[in-house]
Structure 1
Amino acid sequence: MQEARSIYPPTNADSYSNLVGFVFIFNLIVGTGALTLPAAFAKAGWCLSLLLLLLLAVISYITVTYVIEAMACANAIKSWQNLQALRHRRYSSESQEEQQFANTDSETVPLTIQQQSGEFHYYQLTHKFELGEMATMFFNDFGRILFYLCFIIYLYGDLTIYSAAVTRSLRDVICDYGHKNISILSTLETRSIYLPGDFESNNNRACWPQSETTISRKMIYRLILMGFTLIFGPLVFCGIQKTKYLQILTAICRWLAFALMICITIKMLATDGKRGHPNAANIYAIPALFGACVYSFMCHHSLPGLLAPLRSKCSVSSILSIDYIVICAFYLILALTGIFAFEHVQDLYTLNFLPDQFDDDGWLSQLLIVIDYFLSLFPVFTLSTSYPLIAITLKNNLQTLFLDMSRLESYNSFVCFLLPLLAILPPFCVAFFTENLSNLVAFTGSYAGVGIQYVIPVFLVYYSRRTCSELLGSGIPNHFRSSFRSNFWLVLVLSWSGLSMLLVTINLCT
């Protein structure tokens, strides 16, 4: 498909290559929740887990294509509106007789017929339409209220979780707390595991008991949180493309972490043989498995902002397909090698790579000490770059909610400065006063997350198709239309959403 000229003016944002776009999407999808997959696979069985993960990948990819199609429809509608405005200005300068003839020709004849020559292509991804803008365009008042309620709760919850998880990971590595990895398990950002613990008594202890200083772990936590917010918070004032070098660096760290774990387990399987003997399937563990896997492919909330700066929009489907295939392969290789290499898989997979878990006192044990620290900081690497992406998405949607997007450039600098602060400060305040976020994780990650990943894309694509059909007719091709265009797929995804809510509820209750 060739790049076509759009009536709507392109965005002024700096573009980036397809490779950088691949890295952005990879970083957004792959989080520390991947470290809970091996334990979930071991409990549910390798065959059942493999099938469910593949099914989740397919369902998530379907809804991703719906978001892309809805964004192209939003561009087409805006292009149609701009063309009508241009015609109105042109016809106003003509004589009354010519204008009447022109109005008759332009307003009653569908644009489908007028643009058969292909001078304009309406369906583009040149302008970034956030999910909030598309909801405003396609939903009624009730639908918009439900959308923003679900969307803002989810993003605020995610930012709070990310802030606390990164801060606690750094605090637990810095502070001397018995064996540092005991508390790393509770720092995991995951939407499926909620770990109890006496946070207050733990946090009031001295960070370095052997030292004369009496600085508490809570004080260190708050100092790191302030530093984290001061470092990554200013990135919210920029565009997503400004963080591309940070994304590339983080992608290298993630690939290195996964590669280290996979290589070690492959070496164990080659030298020691199979130690783990997981079942093929355990249907009673399906709710817990689903809770660990359901958000393994979530990128829908920030997708418009990631796609708009791409130089070659025609490669969007290929980039997303490769991302999903690579990520799914990573998940499967990581989990399947782990459940067969280790007799017992820890809830947090990195705990299986502690030096005392191996009998080898030679070079492998020394290497594992270095790897142990590196993997302990894995949440820091993964979440630090996801934080600005999600915060920028939240800021953009807050703009849509509170400001008139057609007059955005007319607002003063104070307003432009206030909205990023509204995205940063509430999560900071919540994380500052409490680091026990299990209830927040359960609510935002489960119910609001199902809405964003499954329900909202279905309704967006349904109403966008109907709106474009009414305005443009059916003769203009949408090159970004989803391959899953039948209404059967819409009903299937909504049915899957209901099942997801049921399984998540069962997992939380048990």
Structure 2
Amino acid sequence: MAGGITETGDPYSPFVGLVYMFNLIVGTGALTMPKAFAEAGWVVSLALICFLSFMSYMTTTFVIEAMAAANAQLRWKRREQEEVHESDSTSDYSDDDVVVRGRSEPETRPILSVRLTLSRVSTERSGGGYADHFDIVERVEMGQMASMFFNKVGVNMFYICIIVYLYGDLAIYAAAVPISLTEVVCGNHSCSAKGTKYNDTDACWGAVTRKDAYRVFLTIFTLMLGPFTFFSAQKTKYLQILTSLMRWIAFTMMIILALIRISKGTGQGHPPVANLSGVPNLFGVCVYSFMCQHSLPSLVTPISDKKRVGTLVLVDYTLILVFYVLLGFTAIFCFQGSLLHDMYTLNFTDDCDVLDVPVLRYFLGLFPVFTISTNFPIIAVTLRNNWKTLFHRDGGTYPWVVDRVVFPLITLAPPITVAFCTHNLESLVGITGAYAGTGIQYIVPALLVYYGRRHLGPVLGRDAVNKHCSPFRHNFWVGFVVLWATFCLMFVTANIILTDTKK
């Protein structure tokens, strides 16, 4: 996520990039979407998810444009440094020289000289063709782009925002796994429950309540996966393939099973047309479920042919929107809204009328355990590294205790504490998406593309065109995104205050 410039890694085709983006976006948030749909009403849910899909697509194009702008700036700075070194070795400077030796900032050279430099860069030969200075050839993460285009306050605000989002992510993951294990172990797969919702005080085994069992599994989860926060963890190619395959099988199975039940006339769902009280939570869930902006540099840069990357992103968002609508609508018309679980997979594990194959019931029940457990260490290490970057000072190093103990502990302790206090996944996803998710998905991309355009405009001139420019190139759209995000934050906050006041 945040960090410096790294190698792009092995290239892959646009089709593979489309699949990777689909798998990144469709995750845990989708499992909480059906209940949010049921609470907000089917008309409101359809309208809101379509609009939020459009907004997320827009900001995704903003991030891609900012990536191209960042590559152009890096290429320009590199060329500037080369010219300074060449000038140092071939000539002496007079008192009238404009270029200050040893410096490479844009204000040290006249605009005409800079434009000539960029003209030379744009005609560099690369692989038999001509390289454009807006080619996305180096992976520049969002943190690096923030450092290039924002001031110090903006950079710190970005890191705080992404850290809060990652904390929410970890808390959701830490709660989802014990919930699934509790449902499996506490006998909810016996087919006798048929949609019954249990209380935390209900017995699991003997004198142990379901709440006690949840905390036992959370403790085991912490002890098994928490130590990865103190070291490094990386996904392997085969692990990605395995988890992606399981995700596709599980979601497809749930959609098909719900459609079969509805077609037989045994569906029990009668969702309301509209219920405005459910909108704030639905907003947070939808924002969380469309989140991918923070990982776009890692996804887009390795794509071998980026000529149609804009079309690829549009196709991906269209497919994901259709997928979410299918998942949500089949759920709310198949199950009673009051009986929908926070984790949608659990609705298929306690009623043999829905799924009477024990192996498949256990597969769906344990599906979040396998997929989420593989992601938890990766996100934890990413959060730890963001903490280090936020407090890093040039030339400084951290003491061993701070580096290896303090940072991992402040990474792991807060989300685990939250998971011990609550396992309400719908609220966790809603709050994470509504606040930190709004910043990462809306505000940061809008500001990156705005300041990226302002930063490179005087240098490149009006003739230079960013070939990865967003279709929403007018500044009106940037302002619209920021205003929309501000309105949403105010609306969600006011709703939470009113809800607490009524209670």
TM-score bracket, shorter-length normalisation = 0.7 to 0.9
Q: Deviations over 1:353-399 (max 9, x none)?
A: 245362xxxxx7532x3333222223224433443553454355445
In the alignment, what sits opposite 1:229?
226
1:192 aligned residue: none
Matching residue's letter, 1:338: A
Matched residue, 1:80: 76
Look up the match of 2:366: 377
Question: Unaligned 5+ residue runs, structure 1?
Answer: 1-7, 187-195, 359-363
| Separation (CA, whole Å) in 2 of partners of 1:419 and 1:123 | 37
Q: What is the identity, as a one-letter code, of the residue corresponding to 1:384?
A: S
- Structure 2: runs of 5 or more not aligned: 101-107, 125-130
Alignment match, 1:266: 259
Matching residue within 324, 327, 336 for 1:334: 327
In the superposition, relative to structure 1, how do residues 178 and 268 fare at CA in structure 2: closer, same or farther (>3 Å)?
closer
What does residue 67 of structure 1 align with? 63
Q: Percent identity?
A: 40
Q: Distance in 1 between matches of 2:14 and 2:192?
A: 38
**Equivalent in the alignment of 1:127:** 138
Select 2:290's aligned residue among 293, 297, 310: 297
Structure 2 residue corresponding to 1:91, chosen from 81, 87, 90:
87
C-alpha change, 1:77 and 1:419, in structure 2 (3 Å) is farther
Seen in structure 2, the aligned counterparts of structure 1 residues 51 and 217 have a Cα distance that, compared at 3 Å, is closer
How many Å apart are 1:227 and its aligned residue?
A: 1.6
Q: 2:20 aligns to what? A: 24
Tell me the residue number matched to 1:37: 33
Aligned residues: 470
Q: Which residue of 2 aligns with 1:462?
A: 450
Change (3 A) 1:365 1:101: closer
- Judge conservation of contact 2:21–2:292 (CA < 8 Å) in 1: yes
Does structure 2 retain, via aligned residues, the 8 Å contact 1:291–1:507? no
CA shift in 2, pair 1:402/1:41, >3 Å:
closer
Is 1:488 the counterpart of 2:499? The answer is no
Within the candidate set 86, 106, 118, 2:123 is matched to: 118
**Equivalent residues in 2 for 1:114-193 (5 A)?**
114-116=117-119, 118-119=123-124, 120-174=131-185
2 CA distance for matches of 1:420 and 1:31? 30
Contact 1:76–1:124 (CA under 8 A) maintained in structure 2? yes
Residues 308-327 of structure 1: pairs in structure 2 closer than 5 A: 308-327=301-320
Conserved 8 A contact 2:346-2:364: no
Letter in 2 for 1:366: D
In structure 2, the partner of 1:251 is 244
Matched, 1:366 2:366: no
Q: Which amino acid aligns with 2:206?
A: P
Query: What whole-Å deviation, never above 9, does each CA across 1:15-64 have from its counterpart, x for those lacking one?
Result: 44444433433333222332332333334332322121110000011111
Q: TM-score, normalised by structure 2?
A: 0.79
SS at structure 2 position matched to 1:293: helix
Letter in 2 for 1:328: L
Distance 2:331 2:232 in 1: 41
- Residue 163 of structure 2 aligns with an amino acid whose one-letter code is I
CA 1:443/1:266 → structure 2, altered by over 3 Å: closer, same or farther?
Answer: closer
Deviations along 1:166-209, whole A, 9 cap, x unmatched? 24433553456897999x999xxxxxxxxx976xx78xx8x753
Do the aligned partners of 2:250 and 2:364 also contact (CA within 8 Å) in 1? yes
Deviation at 1:324, TM superposition (A): 1.6
- The change in CA–CA distance for 1:220 and 1:399 in structure 2 (over 3 A counts) is closer
Q: Distance in 1 between matches of 2:173 and 2:350?
A: 28
AA aligned to 2:379 is I
* Cross-structure match for 1:429: 413
Judging changes above 3 Å, is the alpha-carbon distance between structure 1 residues 114 and 12 closer, same or farther for their aligned structure 2 residues? closer
Q: Distance in 1 between matches of 2:470 and 2:191?
A: 48
Matched, 1:500 2:488: yes
- Cα contact 1:159–1:427 (8 A) shared by 2: no
TM-score, normalised to structure 1's length?
0.78
